[in-house]
Chains A and B, each alone.
Chain A
Amino acid sequence: MSNNDQWITIRVAEAREHHPLVTEAVSARIGPLLNGELSERTLPPTRLTAVAKALIADMALAPPKAEATQ
């Protein structure tokens, strides 16, 4: 992506403004992701799932029981 990644910080802040429940941990994770692998190639479903799980954990969301036992 662009050398100047200031815009990412701005867009993340904007999105968070609209969704105040989103935690700082999520913001901290998504910025580098957006500047890195999310921009580099179309991610395969397995990788997207892993990123989704990490973000859910950052939100401190209790995963449903069925998933927790997996």
Chain B
Amino acid sequence: MRIKSIQLEWFRGAADPVTLEPDCKSLVVYGANGSGKSSFVDAVEYVLSDGKIGHLSNEYSGRHQEKAVPNTHKPKARKASLRIKFKDDSELKTEINENGSFTSTGAEAVAMGTWDYRRTVLRQDEVSRFIHDTKGNKYSALLPLLGLDQMEVAAENLRQLARSIENESKLKERRIILTQIGETRKTAFGTHSDDQILKTIEDLHTKYCADKAATKDPLSRCKELETAVNMRMARSSADQRRHFILQAAAELNLKAHGDAVRAASMKLASAMEPLIAEKLDVLLKTVAFVDKLGDAKEVKCPACGRSISTDDFQAHVTAERERLQEIIDTFNERKTAIGILCHTVNSLKDNLGKADVKSWRDEVATGVLADNFAYMDGLNAEALRASCGDENQTALEGKLLPLIAAAVSASKDAPPDAQALSTAKRTTEAGKDVIAAKDQAATAALAEALVGFINSLEQGVRKEIRLRSQTVIDEISADIQTMWATLHPGQAIENVGLYLSEDADKAIDIRLRFYGVEQDSPRLTLSEGYRNSLGLCIFLAMAKREADKDRPLFLDDIVVSLDRNHRGMIQELLVKEFSGRQVVVLTHDREWYTELRQQLDTKCWGFKVLLPYETPDIGIRWSHKTTTFGDARAQVLARPDSAGNDARKIMDVELALIADRLQIRLPYLRADKNDKRMAHEFLERFIADGKTCFKKKGETEYSVHTDAIDAWGEADRLLISWANRASHTFDLVGPEATKLIDACEKALDFFKCSSCGMGVSLAKADKWFQCQCGQIRW
């Protein structure tokens, strides 16, 4: 949607309403430094970036940039505002409140806020930003152009979905349990196969459950076996029962479980560096905060206090959560280890507290062991669960391990039948766990498969993104190469384009061939000027992808670091590639502006000149002329010699370009002197040739345009005497400067038709040049 006008009122450099009116055409705006031309670009950025202007983002501009966006001299009763009118006559109105917040209404159909700033506006300091940006940011900048942002969303959702499935299916817990059962199996059955284990259980079942031979299901056999063995144990003699209990106590692996807790604690401690602790703190605050955000577009970070977009904030929290997932896992691991340790302690307490081992306890509970038994009896396992520090653990092991050692010692002289029964019980329990784990393992395998499937699918989507990106990137690269070749014809820097980085996802970089050598980055060889030139090509190539949207482009002072040759090529590029697009070019380069004004087709392009800035109260002002004499006039009072110099410089450029268009012949000069001819040389030739060539249409026929020749003569005389004085002796006075400027302006005006307003520049059947209406002819 093309723009008809942009009106500013007390916005940035503007005071009373001032309007940029491209009227849906392309436009070149000239303004000296500080004249306020960027205020119009700021207005566009303000709308596109939801009330923010990038170059004003600093600690002094205020939360809503309220200290920087309105004119510093805005009267209290007035509001800073901007209005953007579009081709369909809809109008976007934005009013900025005192606190910097703003309200926008109108132009809903245009939805200008959805335009991408990075493909609408290119400023001087942003030209090479893309080149210097990270591969990831390059990718982000290109992503909307690739049209694959939905696929990116899908890939990210799949990644999160795989995590959710892991959590919901308790996959990690299942893996831990299966590992523990694997250890039990190894202890009880060594390297026996499943069939051998089943055979062992079958044999025990036959031995202890002879009356239940019909039972075939292994798990049921285990359960029957367990009952039978327990019943036999219960019916055993007191001596045997004492052995069973001591055997059970002896088998408790308190040391190993304590070591597991210690290892997990150490792992956690190493991860809990102060930085991590800080991140956890931030995360705790932000997680709660994110839940309350609702539809807010912007949020103040509770950790650092900066205002950031809600999307960025949520992405940050998600990333932090993921980074901390490992610590959370370690927390859980430690928790599980403590649980097992507590269970072991309880088992020891239960076993050694039984009446059947009372006589044994009384026998051994002398001296140090008496204290140990007292410690065990008074131990609260649940309290241990809540605080299982290193000191607690050392005390626990110091007191309980001697009790287990005593049980081990006492259980050694168990009668053979008691030992056999103990072994049968142990084997049965282990067998039951192993058989039951088959279901667990199958369930875990299914969960693993599902997680793996989702992960594969995510990779598949990313592969698809890569394939499609490549196609688009190839197209953009071809455009970059074409544009580069236009700006740098015949130069040995070729094959310029974008490529997807092989070593990382979501990463794009720029390659080129430099004098036959392939380079992975323009930063390796290109000068700053060339980088800027390349940055411009990339911006324009990306903008070209959106040609169908017919959105305007704003190029703000983009030729600063380009030399005259390359600057000239930009005009060719704009004509060649963007003739169907609305382009607003803003420049403080008077010579380039003049060139563009002379060379671009006025059917498609308009030209406007800003007057030099005076005061914030006066604000931004337009010159009524398309020439740049306003710059000179602004200096008449304070620096008349500078004003005179400026007038001559303007004439040098303007006359050179007119001479070029009208194919005026001048004597050849050596070296670069041809490029540095002065206004006087041109005027001399115009006056001489004009007496026969420059004609004005009368009632019926053409006659020599004597008024023009007189005006050129007058300007030439003043340039020789006063402009030279301005340059060499600096003693030009104000009235003289004014007269010189007026004379120069008048001289130039004669190259333009007073009827149709067009220059005498249209070729007519190779015989002459004339204006649009044919009133004047050369």
**CB-defined A-B contacts under 8 Å, sample of 23:** A11-B463, A18-B452, A19-B452, A21-B445, A30-B454, A30-B457, A38-B157, A38-B161, A39-B151, A39-B154, A40-B150, A45-B160, A49-B164, A49-B168, A52-B165, A52-B168, A53-B168, A56-B168, A56-B447, A59-B447, A62-B443, A67-B168, A67-B170
Q: Is the CB of B157 within 8 A of A18?
A: no
Mask, A11-50, CB within 8 Å of B = 1, is 1101110111110001000100010001111110100110
A16's contact among B164, B453, B464, by CB below 8 Å, is which?
B453
Q: How many A-B contacts if CB must be within 8 Å? A: 110
Q: Is the CB of B453 within 8 A of A38?
A: no
Q: Which of B158-198 contact A (CB under 8 A)?
A: 158, 160-161, 164-165, 167-170, 173-174
Residues of A within 8 A of B109 (CB): none
Bound complex: CA A1 to CA B459 (Å): 17
Residues of B within 8 A of A43 (CB): 157, 160-161
Bound complex: CA A48 to CA B461 (Å): 18
CB distance from A69 to the nearest CB of B (A): 13
Asked whether any CB of chain A lies closer than 8 Å to the CB of B456, the reply is: yes
Q: Is the CB of B170 within 8 A of A15?
A: no
Residues of A within 8 A of B174 (CB): 64
Q: How many residues of A contact B (CB 8 A)?
A: 36
Q: Is the CB of A39 within 8 A of B150?
A: yes
Residues of B within 8 A of A62 (CB): 439, 443
Bound complex: CA A12 to CA B154 (Å): 13
A52's contact among B156, B161, B439, by CB below 8 Å, is which?
B161
Q: Is the CB of A14 within 8 A of B460?
A: yes
Q: Is the CB of A48 within 8 A of B164?
A: yes
Q: Is the CB of B456 within 8 A of A15?
A: yes
Residues of B within 8 A of A34 (CB): 154, 158, 457, 461
Q: Is the CB of A64 within 8 A of B450?
A: no
Q: Is the CB of A15 within 8 A of B457?
A: yes
A18's contact among B168, B453, B464, by CB below 8 Å, is which?
B453
Q: Which residue of B lies closest to A34 (CB)?
A: B154
Q: Is the CB of B151 within 8 A of A15?
A: no
Q: Which residue of A lies closest to B467 (CB)?
A: A7
Q: Is the CB of A21 within 8 A of B168?
A: no
Asked whether any CB of chain A lies closer than 8 Å to the CB of B153, the reply is: yes
Q: Is the CB of A22 within 8 A of B168?
A: no
CB distance from B309 to the nearest CB of A (A): 14
Q: Is the CB of B153 within 8 A of A40?
A: yes
Q: Is the CB of B164 within 8 A of A14?
A: no
Asked whether any CB of chain A lies closer than 8 Å to the CB of B420, the reply is: no
B457's contact among A1, A11, A48, A49, by CB below 8 Å, is which?
A11
Q: Is the CB of B169 within 8 A of A41?
A: no
Bound complex: CA A12 to CA B461 (Å): 9
Residues of B within 8 A of A19 (CB): 449-450, 452-453, 456
CB distance from B469 to the nearest CB of A (A): 14
Q: Is the CB of B154 within 8 A of A45?
A: no
Given the contacts A39-B150, A40-B150, A26 and B460 also touching, CB distance less than 8 Å: no
Asked whether any CB of chain A lies closer than 8 Å to the CB of B756, the reply is: no
Bound complex: CA A48 to CA B165 (Å): 9
Asked whether any CB of chain A lies closer than 8 Å to the CB of B446, the reply is: yes
Residues of A within 8 A of B154 (CB): 1, 34, 38-39
